Structure 1
Amino acid sequence: MQDPNAWVLSSEAGSIRPDTSTYARGAQSLEITTTGDFQRPTSADLALPGVDMTDCQWDLWLRAEDYRQIGSILLELGGDDENCLRLDVAPDVRTLRSGTWCRVTVNRAATRSVVGRPSMARVTRVRLRVVPGLDSTPSRIWLGYLGTLPTAESGIVSISFDDGYDSDYNTARVLMQRHGIPAGTSYVIADKVGLPGRMSIDQLAEMRDVHGWDIAAHASTDLTTLDETALRGEFETIRSFLLGHGYRDGAAHFALPMGRYNDLVLRVARNYFDSLRTIDVAQETLAPGDPYRLRVFYCGGYTTERQVVRALAQCKEYRCWTHMVFHRIDAVSDGAPETVTAANFERFMKHVADSGLPVKTVPEIMRSQ
């Protein structure tokens, strides 16, 4: 699926062409030009001899000229008719960034729609459909690679917490253990440990040594506002804190403050960490396509039981990684949108336990990839 000359324009609008000036693999890519009109997407088709895609994930390398001009990117898999499985490649197009190659992996949990009754056992047509955003202008996107990956043997759930609140210790830990969920991951901020409302040094040690939690890295500064020197200072501060207190495994994993990142953040972070966790919402693939942009199931006061049940069902059926991220867990909500009541959190954990899915910390999962 790598020869750009094998693709044909299947839409009335837009254009495609091989491009030897930028590529992710090999020596050329497929350049797709949009119309700027969301009602006139650009589509490119690739004919296949009949490939069994029943039990696989999809692996794409994409580059956007300006992600703000893109409304959505859809991957359609089908046969000689219009029956197809339609996957949402980039639910949050910001993950594409602009002007750089981005790896995006997709599983069946990203299904946007199913047209008719497509047979995944014999896919003879692949279509990449690029839909312009509202009020956009013509722009370009490049496809540098498209392939398939095998699915994992089982779906996996992670329960993570940001900011190091003492509710991780006092409430979440207790409720998780009540439902047989052994441990989670707490992403802590070095200069907030021991402050009122945050876990103490002793509590962090107990979480790891007694209860098996992983203590990982976080910060409170918007990293996208910093230059490289300041970025390195932020990373070195939390790494030194965690390593100095014996949290070697967790020190390799960082949660991006407010989920914000740019190319400088991603480049510098690779010198310090094995993974970066975003707040981009999607079922993550196993193995993750980009460990420096881990996607999550972000939970707050707005999260419903139905959403949790659906996410866990997808995790089990499509064998993906449902990474549930929380902040404060309080008996009574303080009104912050990220705060989840203890009663709701316990309901969510019961569903996790009832699902039978294995629950692992972030370092455990990343070590196995």
Structure 2
Amino acid sequence: MGGTGGVALAGGGAWVGSTVAAQPAAAAAEAAIGGLTTPPAYAPSGRRPKYRRATWSQQFQTSHGWNAGGTGTASANANDTSVFVRGTQSVRVTTNGTGKQSYVRRTGMTAQNMTGKMIRLVFRVDDVANLSKLVFYMGSGSLANYFSWTFHAHSTTAANYVQSGEWVTVHLQWADVTSAAGTYSISAAGSPSTKTGFTDMSFAVYDNAGGPVTYRLQAVELVPDTATVFPKGVVSITFDDSHKSIHDLARPVMDSYGYSGTVYNIADAIGTGSFLTVGQMRSMQDFSGWEMAGHSYANATHTASYPKLTAEQADDDFRKLREWLVGNGFSSEHFAYPHGAFQKTSDGVPVDLIASRHFTTARSIISETIESFAPAMPYRLKALTGINDGSGIGGTALSKVTGAGGRLDRCVNSGDWLILCLHKVVEGTPATSTEIGKAGLTALMKAIDDRGIPVLTVEEAMASYT
């Protein structure tokens, strides 16, 4: 890396701070992990997917030919050498705080065929305090015709995929396209009217009209998409929190379809109250092929979430959890953040960086776009959560997944890795968004089966690219 590129994270992201970026790589890595330099007893194997080589790439080096503009732009430097993560420069743009569109754009390029490809973006927002949303446009006729992806809408309360001062990698697949204009259209099943002939691209940023945002664009690339390995996409069915109902109600339903799931477990809860026992976990793993993954070691950690802890406390809980899983015969190296929270610890260390010391992936509950192969950032896996067949209880209505043009249709027609996050299964009608009825779960499994979408555990899915 050159200049102030920062410390690279798995999957293409990086954490960059002004004090860290100026140090040699080894020292910066130590500083970024908060001084936690002793290797854990059970470190992850590192079985991560290989880096996907781009079939077309714009890395924004000298003479790149893209222009910054839009009514929301205050200033820009198309050849900024102060902060970058590839080569010797990136594009820097600062918005004007009006909520209007600011962009980095090029039109009239050689036409691209996007069949079997997805878009890879590498970018950074210096401070997300005033960020509203990020949108990517791809089209023709100087963008008179376009498809768009709204791939980030910033939240003031929940964990955000895009965080201040970090280089972020995002994959945009056809299953995630949000709108069309001009001669382009999206079918009722969520399929684009064309995947060829694209000459125009635009990376757009909107602030929240509360102040300016400075962003930096490093790469726009095309890489092979999920459909090149899974033509119908792939689904992973995951359950959080170790509820006993996963064994008693979910397992029999999924057994009837030959499906295995991933359970993200709280070690402290196992063998207590209405939670799984070690024996039930082993039975599911050994006789039905389920994956027993990690969610937290201590109940108190799950309740608080890792960002409320110091880096040392978080690392200790990760270590105990990993040792507990290995010590009880569970082979999974995968993890899910309690409440989906992977922001910085109370003393300023990114939780996903600490997770990488102990696990091979970590799953969030962010679903602005659906996950891909290979994942853009394995320690921020995206998942659709709150799926239920209730009424008036919030979450994600089951019909949004199983209905026409829903997530399953988009998965089978365009290809993606659809990670579903469930919690408790109930016999009757669910009362909260963290419950799904047995009837609803059965309907979900049938909908997946009817479409012929393969179902893999997270561990199995990741093995497809290692």
How far the C-alpha of 1:159 sits from its partner, in A, is: 0.5
The 2-side partners of 1:234 and 1:88 are apart by 35
**1:270 aligned residue (350, 356, 360):** 356
The 2-side partners of 1:229 and 1:357 are apart by 42
Alignment of 1:157-176 (within 5 A): 157-176=235-254
Alignment of 1:171-182 (within 5 A): 171-178=249-256, 180-182=257-259
Q: Give ranges in structure 1 of 5+ residues lacking alignment.
A: none
The 1-side partners of 2:454 and 2:279 are apart by 28
- Aligned equivalent of 1:203: 280
- Aligned equivalent of 1:306: 399
**Contact 1:186/1:215 (CA < 8 Å) preserved in 2?**
yes
**2:215 paired with 1:122:** no
- Aligned equivalent of 1:87: 149
Moved more, 112-121 or 306-315: 112-121
How far the C-alpha of 1:303 sits from its partner, in A, is: 3.0
Percent identity, aligned pairs only, is: 27
How far the C-alpha of 1:334 sits from its partner, in A, is: 6.2
**Contact 2:292/2:330 (CA < 8 Å) preserved in 1?**
yes
- Aligned equivalent of 1:51: 112
- Aligned equivalent of 1:139: 213
How far the C-alpha of 1:172 sits from its partner, in A, is: 0.5
Report SS of the residue matched to 1:358: coil
Report SS of the residue matched to 2:138: strand
Shift of the 210–65 alpha-carbon distance from structure 1 to 2, 3 Å rule, reads: same
The 1-side partners of 2:365 and 2:251 are apart by 22
**2:313 paired with 1:235:** no
Moved more, 189-198 or 29-38: 29-38
**Contact 2:372/2:417 (CA < 8 Å) preserved in 1?**
yes
Moved more, 70-79 or 286-295: 70-79
**Contact 1:2/1:145 (CA < 8 Å) preserved in 2?**
yes
Q: Deviations over 1:317-349 (max 9, x none)?
A: 221011111000011356332111112121111
How far the C-alpha of 1:58 sits from its partner, in A, is: 0.8
The 1-side partners of 2:94 and 2:432 are apart by 42
**Contact 1:59/1:147 (CA < 8 Å) preserved in 2?**
yes
**Contact 1:160/1:187 (CA < 8 Å) preserved in 2?**
yes
**2:371 aligned residue (259, 278, 284):** 284
Shift of the 92–208 alpha-carbon distance from structure 1 to 2, 3 Å rule, reads: farther
- Aligned equivalent of 2:179: 113
How far the C-alpha of 1:91 sits from its partner, in A, is: 4.4
Shift of the 336–37 alpha-carbon distance from structure 1 to 2, 3 Å rule, reads: same
* Structure 2 letter corresponding to 1:57: M
- Aligned equivalent of 1:26: 87
Structure 1 segments of 4 or more deviating over 6 A?
none
- How many residues are treated as equivalent by the alignment? 364
**1:352 aligned residue (445, 448, 455):** 448
The 2-side partners of 1:148 and 1:97 are apart by 24
Alignment of 1:149-164 (within 5 A): 149-152=223-226, 153=228, 154=230, 155-164=233-242
What is the TM-score with the length of structure 1 in the denominator? 0.94
**Contact 1:87/1:111 (CA < 8 Å) preserved in 2?**
yes
How far the C-alpha of 1:203 sits from its partner, in A, is: 0.4
**2:164 paired with 1:98:** yes
Shift of the 316–165 alpha-carbon distance from structure 1 to 2, 3 Å rule, reads: same
- Aligned equivalent of 1:191: 268
The 1-side partners of 2:454 and 2:195 are apart by 28
* Structure 2 letter corresponding to 1:223: Y
* Structure 2 letter corresponding to 1:90: H
Root mean square deviation, CA, Å? 1.7
* Structure 1 letter corresponding to 2:240: D
The 2-side partners of 1:297 and 1:2 are apart by 31
The 1-side partners of 2:289 and 2:182 are apart by 47
* Structure 1 letter corresponding to 2:138: L
Report SS of the residue matched to 1:51: coil
How far the C-alpha of 1:177 sits from its partner, in A, is: 2.0
- Aligned equivalent of 2:32: none
**2:369 paired with 1:255:** no
**2:455 paired with 1:362:** no
Moved more, 270-279 or 299-308: 299-308
Shift of the 89–16 alpha-carbon distance from structure 1 to 2, 3 Å rule, reads: farther
The 2-side partners of 1:285 and 1:92 are apart by 21
**1:294 aligned residue (373, 381, 397):** 381
**Contact 2:113/2:196 (CA < 8 Å) preserved in 1?**
yes
How far the C-alpha of 1:108 sits from its partner, in A, is: 1.5
- Aligned equivalent of 2:21: none
**Contact 1:87/1:108 (CA < 8 Å) preserved in 2?**
no
Shift of the 92–356 alpha-carbon distance from structure 1 to 2, 3 Å rule, reads: farther
What is the TM-score with the length of structure 2 in the denominator? 0.75
* Structure 2 letter corresponding to 1:64: V
- Aligned equivalent of 1:328: 424
How far the C-alpha of 1:306 sits from its partner, in A, is: 2.3
* Structure 1 letter corresponding to 2:386: C
Report SS of the residue matched to 2:152: coil
Q: Deviations over 1:57-109 (max 9, x none)?
A: 11111111222322211111112241111112324562111011111111122
